[in-house]
Chain A
């Protein structure tokens, strides 16, 4: 507890009680003049000592010696704070002494509110789900040149993509290197068995279903990878003048939440039935036979949606589940596909547009189109992974908000 009153500040250094042993054993309570006291577990403080023996500033990382035989019974012998310098001092039972600046501690305070703030503001922004019927509210346009030249525009774009899962970039030049320039602004492209960049246009006899002029129903790209590409970038070079070739997009997390609420049994079937996703073929010299077994709706340990797998063409005819699970899964899937249709939005990109969307979350498709010599459609595509996008977002955020970790 904070014993000294304000009159003692003249001596700067304030002795604190030994760590509390009551509700939370071995917790160090640190007074913060302007707000609630901060709380830290003693073992965590010892593990995160900032001295030169314990921490290497050039790599911004913990030095490992302590962990060759970590003593978890280490105790605080003495603790004090220098309120003016804003530093916490601790002397440990293993003879070590540590000091921690307040601003560093504040960032890492174990209060529920602070942890929540850190996760939603810095780790990964909270997603906002939408129905296609409200797409106009979600739709946001960014301009290619601004993304290339302005860090704040870049941050806005990536933030919007993280929160809503879709963003439209306009006025990109009709050049082949647009996606590479955009990806390099973020980090780097994610290579797949189809290479780094791919070209979507009608190719009779194509070995991938997307390379045909037929309608392409709602799907996620490459569900047959354990490491599903995170963000799809589609650059329209030429658009079909026929009435077709319209883009379809739906927020499948929204659809999943709807099913969780209205069709709980079917929701469970889609979360629990492993489906074989597959792609067999070749691209250039590389032959592949990709398979990934996973449900349509993938949840994390806390039950939140983290990934959707859906592709009619890339669903394997092998279905490695007990007979009795088959029909219930089909019924649930039919509901899912129907709801995704119902809550999808439609629009048609024009040359110079780059459509960007979260491939773990959204399902996308296109209507069929007449492909003739005078009526071509040519889209270039590429992927960037979320690991890389979030990293960039954090770097941009730190640059614009000094004092962050």
Chain B
């Protein structure tokens, strides 16, 4: 695991003071061989100079580069190399007369080898997602105890990791007070505020301005597709569940539906990736009017063709549709196929009081069956959002902390021997 390498003490290596060799290649790059027999690592000279770790070039307490880029010369060349075996460092003298020292471990962690970079991105940056069909829901949906998530960092980490990989996780045994979603969000970082405030209550409100606040069936959708910065993760705390047969939750992995389209209906897939749809929400909350619009395709891809987001909401799709006339009908046909596939694949279950359902709103579609709302059969859900920026940050901090804790345990075991 990359993190273990990042934090591993490599005590054996240091004590042995293994032989390092380093040489300049192609006049500008540096090749380092950590020990004889190891595969050499090559680093671009210009990148090394940019990342000099000395006090003039790097600000330690903010962990930030402070090199003067107004004077940075990309033609910089290494002119001399030394290996400090005692300190396990490579010492570089540059054509601008500057000298830099790079610890071997620091260099290894930043290797330009493709495999190492892929590991870093996968283990530390953002874990890759695993897509699932509705039939696989029981296998992939992990359960955690709310109390353990609140008390143990390792359980917190596993919850967030499951959420990142599968896009859904269920917490159980939460108290039935309205502060649960806030406490949980603050365990991770902080609540993402939207036009609807920080926490929101989903219960039947006749005359509500938002469709979700009615007791009607709520078909599959993503929340707030009309935001450029769509809230990332939904936290839905079930406080009271209706006694009526309705009110079930439905979930679908939108990335899985996109996979099916990509494989079986490539033209529909392309259209849903390309045609910009106007998503909107017009209304007011606490006396503040809003008119949100964001134009984006149903399936959003990054430049490498990876999914970055799914948008879907029947009520929040604007009647304004700013595309050329001839694109409209084909788009409807493709979108209708997407919706049919999603409905066919959706998994239904009913949360119980004390359950906290958490899922990735960038990726999953969710909905609920209609229910009879009466005084004898109310339903009361408290919700809030978290953003992925904040979740991934927390996950990285936990990974570093838990791995260094386990290293510290390992060190103390060594010491007692």
Q: Are B329 and A72 neighbours in the complex by a CB distance under 8 Å? A: yes
The distance from the CB of A89 to the nearest CB of chain B, in whole angstroms, is 18
Partner of B193, one of A62, A191, A290, A327: A191
Write out the residue numbers on chain A whose beta carbons fall within 8 Å of the beta carbon of B109: 318
Stretch at the interface among B176-184, B236-244, B248-256, B288-296: B288-296
Q: Is B388 in the interface zone, CB < 8 Å from A? A: yes
Stretch at the interface among A10-18, A106-114, A126-134: A106-114
Write out the residue numbers on chain B whose beta carbons fall within 8 Å of the beta carbon of A293: 121, 125
CA distance A69 to B314 in the complex (A): 12
Write out the residue numbers on chain A whose beta carbons fall within 8 Å of the beta carbon of B319: 48, 62, 108
Q: Is A314 in the interface zone, CB < 8 Å from B? A: yes
Q: Is B44 in the interface zone, CB < 8 Å from A? A: yes
CB proximity to A under 8 Å, residues B260-315:
274, 276, 278, 282-283, 288-295, 303, 314-315
Q: Is A226 in the interface zone, CB < 8 Å from B? A: yes
Chain B 371-392 against A: per-residue CB contact (8 Å), 1 yes, 0 no?
0000000000000000111101
Partner of B389, one of A226, A327, A394, A395: A226
Q: Is B339 in the interface zone, CB < 8 Å from A? A: yes
Partner of B314, one of A41, A62, A330: A62
How many contacting A-B pairs (Cβ < 8 A)? 224
CB proximity to B under 8 Å, residues A214-247:
214, 217, 225-227
Q: Are B328 and A67 neighbours in the complex by a CB distance under 8 Å? A: no
Write out the residue numbers on chain B whose beta carbons fall within 8 Å of the beta carbon of A313: 59, 62, 64-66
CA distance A211 to B62 in the complex (A): 9
CB proximity to B under 8 Å, residues A161-220:
187-188, 191, 193, 205-209, 211-212, 214, 217
Q: Are B61 and A206 neighbours in the complex by a CB distance under 8 Å? A: yes
The distance from the CB of B339 to the nearest CB of chain A, in whole angstroms, is 6
Partner of A312, one of B69, B333, B336: B69
Partner of B291, one of A119, A320, A395: A395
Write out the residue numbers on chain A whose beta carbons fall within 8 Å of the beta carbon of B106: 317
Q: Is B46 in the interface zone, CB < 8 Å from A? A: yes
Which of A205, A208, A291 has most B Cβ within 10 Å? A291
Write out the residue numbers on chain A whose beta carbons fall within 8 Å of the beta carbon of B293: 123, 390-391, 394
Take A59-B208, A391-B291 as given contacts and tell me if A291 and B114 are in contact as well, using a CB distance cutoff of 8 Å: no
Write out the residue numbers on chain B whose beta carbons fall within 8 Å of the beta carbon of A341: 70
CA distance A24 to B278 in the complex (A): 22
Q: Are B120 and A320 neighbours in the complex by a CB distance under 8 Å? A: yes
Partner of A72, one of B74, B189, B193, B336: B336
Q: Are A61 and B211 neighbours in the complex by a CB distance under 8 Å? A: yes
Q: Is B135 in the interface zone, CB < 8 Å from A? A: no
Partner of A24, one of B210, B323, B326: B326
Q: Are A286 and B189 neighbours in the complex by a CB distance under 8 Å? A: yes
CB proximity to B under 8 Å, residues A355-405:
385-388, 390-392, 394-395, 398, 405
Q: Are B74 and A287 neighbours in the complex by a CB distance under 8 Å? A: no
Take A320-B117, A326-B47 as given contacts and tell me if A395 and B289 are in contact as well, using a CB distance cutoff of 8 Å: yes
Partner of B325, one of A27, A67, A187: A27
Interface residues on B, range: 35 or more
Q: Are B65 and A58 neighbours in the complex by a CB distance under 8 Å? A: no
Q: Is A63 in the interface zone, CB < 8 Å from B? A: yes
CA distance A385 to B194 in the complex (A): 10
Q: Is A258 in the interface zone, CB < 8 Å from B? A: no
Q: Is B207 in the interface zone, CB < 8 Å from A? A: yes
The distance from the CB of A21 to the nearest CB of chain B, in whole angstroms, is 12
Q: Is A91 in the interface zone, CB < 8 Å from B? A: no
Q: Are A323 and B112 neighbours in the complex by a CB distance under 8 Å? A: yes
CA distance A287 to B402 in the complex (A): 14
Q: Are A209 and B320 neighbours in the complex by a CB distance under 8 Å? A: no
Q: Are A387 and B59 neighbours in the complex by a CB distance under 8 Å? A: no
CA distance A326 to B340 in the complex (A): 46
CB proximity to A under 8 Å, residues B201-260:
207-211, 214, 217-219, 227-229
CA distance A330 to B289 in the complex (A): 46
Write out the residue numbers on chain B whose beta carbons fall within 8 Å of the beta carbon of A327: 28, 44, 46, 74
CB proximity to B under 8 Å, residues A26-59:
26-27, 39-44, 47-48, 56, 58-59
Write out the residue numbers on chain A whose beta carbons fall within 8 Å of the beta carbon of B217: 64
Take A289-B400, A320-B120 as given contacts and tell me if A123 and B65 are in contact as well, using a CB distance cutoff of 8 Å: no
Which of B28, B125, B292, B319 has most A Cβ within 10 Å? B319
What are 12 A-to-B residue pairs whose CB atoms are below 8 Å? Answer: A63-B315, A69-B340, A118-B322, A226-B389, A286-B190, A318-B120, A319-B47, A321-B117, A334-B72, A337-B69, A387-B227, A391-B195
The 7 closest A-B pairs by CB, nearest first: A313-B64, A61-B315, A41-B328, A394-B291, A289-B396, A64-B314, A326-B44
Given A43-B328, A317-B110, A327-B28, 20 other A-B residues pairs in contact with their CB atoms under 8 A = A24-B326, A58-B208, A60-B283, A62-B315, A67-B339, A112-B324, A191-B190, A212-B59, A214-B66, A281-B63, A291-B392, A315-B65, A319-B47, A320-B125, A387-B229, A387-B294, A391-B290, A391-B291, A395-B291, A398-B291
